Amino acid sequence: MINENLYWQSFLLPYELAVGGFIIKLEAMRKEFLFKKVNNPIEIVSGRVKSVSSILEKAERLNIDFNHIPEGIYDIAGIRVTCKYIEDVYTVADLLKSRKDIDIFLIKDYIKEPKASGYRSLHLIAKYNVETVDGRMPINIEFQIRTHAMHLWASIEHTLKYKYYRHIPEEIQERLIQASIICASLDDEMTRIKSTMGSVVVDKVRETEPDLDEMEVFLNSIKKW
């Protein structure tokens, strides 16, 4: 058991380094947007490394051989970026695509083509070289980019999947699909409101300084989803 624990600690360490590093990088980008007082597409940045039980469960479900887990499971390291508006989601995606330190090899756009369950989000899967004491180590890392409405829906659906062991009752599934449609409508309306805001002339607009408390980086936000 001790050797097994040491194996998994060693296995997961590069993923933890990658997630911690990208939380810092994306928070720094958010801070720069705020200081420059330009549109900030990044609302919340969080990350997680899959638990051992989740890795093994997914490998079994996808029929991935134990020795092929590193290349077969794309989301052992996960970064989630939450945005206000749908257009911000694609802005963040473009920012990630322009980076030189990652090589995006797969894009899953569940916003334009939602899953049958109603799930909506934009996923970018990339190769990333982690700098370790033993040299560079290539790993897969997944970026999930979504709006607040998408995140609310996904969080509730995730909880229900856990509760019902991935077999959500059909009646609840139907209600989740309807809820997803409502969330999509909310995102569309928020986009229209933002567009209207740009054309409305007002007498006074409050100039605010960036809130330094909002710029703190919390590495302990690396958690288990």
CA–CA separation, 154 and 145 (whole Å): 12
Active-site positions read: 142
Tally of CA atoms within 13 A in the half-sphere of 59 that contains its CB: 17
Phi/psi of residue 214, each to 5°? -75, -10
CA–CA separation, 103 and 23 (whole Å): 18
Sheet-wide strand order for 77-83: 102-109, 122-132, 135-147, 77-83, 44-49, 222-223
CA–CA separation, 48 and 61 (whole Å): 21
First to last CA, the chain: 24
CA–CA separation, 80 and 37 (whole Å): 23
Residue pair 79/144 in contact (Cβ under 8 Å)? The answer is yes
CA–CA separation, 43 and 88 (whole Å): 9
CA–CA separation, 142 and 93 (whole Å): 12
Residue with tokens 């004491």: 133
